[in-house]
Structure 1
Amino acid sequence: MASGGGVEEVTNKQVLFKEYVSGLPKESNMHVSTSGTIKLKVPEGSNAILVKNLYLSCDPYMRPRMDQPTPGSQSYVDSFKPGSPIVGFGVAKVVDSGNPKFKKGDLVWGKTGWEEYSLITDVQNLLKIKHTDVPLSYYTGILGMPGLTAYSGFYEVCSPKKGEYVFISAASGAVGQLVGQFAKLLGCYVVGSAGSKEKVDLLKNKFKFDEAFNYKEEPDLDAALKRYFPEGIDIYFENVGGKMLDAVLLNMKTHGRIAVCGMISQYNLEKLEGVHNLVHMIYKRVQMKAFVFSDYYHLYPKFMDLVLPHIAEGKIVYLEDIAEGLESGPAALVGLFSGLNVGKQVVLVAQE
């Protein structure tokens, strides 16, 4: 349909955040709305860009954004606003632009709304997609935020050396599968944990980890780690927290390093679990450092120079779990927290 002045106005399907969440998120915490409309032109004088969203990324960090903000909250991301669209990373095509850095037809990745079309006013961290000889969906994963997270966490935070012993929790996820492959390329011994036999098989057969185990089948995580790392762990890439971190602390080598990327086991708890073995950091002089990928935006060109040739040569592979249609977004996002996804969870909104 058309609006006044000849500017086309179209229906804009959206995934709206309904209410703050306690415990595990549910699909009912979100609402797919088909009542909204949007004009396919940037407002006169605006520096914004209007995009058509193609792929949206489901990521664990989105769960804390569903919590009600509390006074003194120190999170690095703001909570979602009830009644407004979910916001996350995605791949989009520019429909109209009031910004000299972008033109109609450009492909971009960065933060966007969970909707068919988004008017993006903050384009500071929006990046143009220059390499289109890979699937566009890769820019929600291996070539996007998870990829830069894996690269910066492993190479910059962990300072790895050839031959070291590396353990990765949630190893089949968007970040973990890449960290393991980076470590193998460097000549490290790599073990990953995951939550199903299917994922364990993927780690060993598709991603070429040396070993992998299903943490749900291990009654004693300390004993499991001693089985796979009889001489201890040099590097732990932390995605889980809780009991896994406690067990790892008992098994770190002297001067080991822990990169704290995420703690998905804690995101749905009303009371966070305590970690009891921190004293072992002193005994072993272990370094534990938390990080977020945005601290390393400046390394994106260096990261791309490393990873693109490896993808082209088949030395790095990437597994995606693609849900089709914006309306499938709530189920896909909720499924992350019970491990339903196999590989990087992506929502396909529209073909280019």
Structure 2
Amino acid sequence: MSKTLGRRARVLIADDEPEIRVVLADLLSRAYDCTTVGSAEDALARLRESEFDLVISDIMMGGMSGLEMIPRVLERSPDTVVIMISGVQTVESAISALRAGAFDYVMKPFDLYHVEAAVGRALEHYSLRVQKRRYENYLEEMVGQRTAQLDGALHSLGDAYRTTLKALTAALETRDQETHGHSERVVNFSLRLGQEMGLDGEQLRSLEFGSLLHDIGKIGVPDAILRKPAALDEKEWVRMREHPAHGQKILCGIEFLEGASRVVAQHHEKWDGSGYPLKLKGEEIDLNARIFAVADAFDAMTSDRVYRIGRGYDEAVTELDAFAGRQFDPNVVAAFRRIPREEWDEIRQRSVEAREMKSASRRLEQAAGRNMLVEAGAGAHVN
């Protein structure tokens, strides 16, 4: 029984693979009332007959897709929360699911612990939305205070998206091995620099997500350009320079990424107005984008590439100083210099260690997930 709902939550599972339905139902039925169907059409039919708090659906199914189903679910039951699952590990499919109204996106092969965690977050989100709606229909003066509390609780659930966004970034970086791990490192550099600049709360969240997704627009750049070993020609550079605007279009309409989208759109602008795509100048450039530009340049200069060894800290700082007032906001460069070198070294080392641990953990989780699916499928066949 859900403590916040006062009853067992009702979960509808839609997947055209019987083994997946069995595994998810077995996992979740201990705590929730689960109903399983094999298609989006059957799911909508069930929703016409009964109310469900959560819908878990595969994206690709025979007939109507999970993406096509989302707006129909939300039109009928706006408070119902939707989680999409898919074996297609692409940035485009995840972004499409979030833009269609999905609360979360789980990639196959999935770890069952992570599925349970995603379901818990989704039902917490559902409960908070229902409570907020009830309070908003209550006496106005009493609702005001409680609504603010519930809004804060809902907003804090933005943390739930962090894992999904990191997965999207990892998928994108598989196309560009030269910058493997760059997004995660530059996030940590940007956040420390943002703190030094006095940012907090929502500003830091937007800086984090914007730094993580800064190159998402490169999904529109052909591999032939992105992976070209030689220098790009003028036409190829024109195509490459389109990625900030393309990235902003991808994130457009996702409310919690509104601030991040400005970093994505402006991360190649320069303080003196010589950047792209809009040639913004000085404080016309979003502050988070100015912070990111310094963190990004520092990581690029100090990271190894296949064709060169990364520069040392002193050489990188000299370069930042040289371009302060031209490429970079001088105030951001000054803030960078106030942070001791040891902190930057520690941040880089933590990023390396975290990435190694995640890589090992991911291999173990995928192996465990495959084993559990095989065992569950074998059990279902025997029965």
- TM-score bracket, normalised by the shorter chain, equals under 0.3
Tell me: higher relative CO, structure 1 or 2? Use CA pairs within 8 A at least 6 residues apart: 1
Per the normalisation by structure 1, the TM-score is: 0.23
State the structure with more CA Rg.
Answer: 2
Where is the helix percentage greater, Structure 1 or Structure 2?
Answer: 2
Per the normalisation by structure 2, the TM-score is: 0.22
